[in-house]
Amino acid sequence: MKLKCLCFIFLFFPSYAWATPINVATGGTASQSSTLSLWGPAGPENVIDGNTDGNWSYSDDNTLNHTYFEFGAWWEVDLGGIYEVHNIIVWNRVNYCCNDRLNNFHVSLFDENRTEVFRIDYNEILEPVLNFGFDVNEAGRYVRVQMNDSDFLHLAEVQVFSPVPVPEPTSLLLLLSGLGGLVALSRRSVWVA
């Protein structure tokens, strides 16, 4: 009886869905132009681990990446599919020795064919910044952060926000019906055993 009442509520719920922006980069696959791991792990996967702390750690728990000193050093994430990207936030390293290195770079969004659909250059030399936020509003699959000159590239985190639709009430009703069926099936299997 409770299930019927619950379904009744969802049937009369408004028939529109909301979109909640989530960081889709954490589910992606990261790569970079080179890896300088002289002082601890510095791989590209560190930039999509969900940790925005920009302090470099000289131990195995480091969560930043680090490339060699090179021209056009880059870091990239493959989101695994096309997403409507609303904004990108690039989190900088904050240690006093090196937080000013991220000052002449660009952020690009590419589609599945590697055609650049968005690019923004940041080349102002200001006080070191904790993070940089960019409004994108384009669909794409690959996000790249690349230096425009010769330097190391180290990032704390790159977040790529995309709206993910919430299921419509009819979808929720079907989901609840399916879950109800699974509960009944699991009870039956327990009774048989």
Total of domains in the chain = 2
Domain that holds residue 43: 19-165
Same domain, 88 and 131: yes
126 DSSP 8-state letter: -
Label residue 45 exposed, middle or buried (CB < 10 Å: 0-12, 13-18, 19+). Answer: middle
Instruction: Answer whether 0.85 is exceeded by the pTM.
Output: no
Same domain, 152 and 175: no
Confidence of residue 97 (pLDDT cuts 50, 70, 90): confident
Same domain, 129 and 179: no
Same domain, 8 and 89: no
Lookup: tokens for 147: 């230096």
Confidence of residue 72 (pLDDT cuts 50, 70, 90): very high
What is the Cα–Cα distance from 10 to 177, expressed in whole angstroms? 12
Same domain, 125 and 153: yes
Same domain, 124 and 108: yes
The predicted-structure confidence for 8-26, as pLDDT tens digits, reads as follows 333 333 443 547 899 999 9
Any idea which of 84-88, 94-98, 117-121 has the lowest mean pLDDT? 94-98
Tell me the average pLDDT of the chain.
79
Confidence of residue 165 (pLDDT cuts 50, 70, 90): low
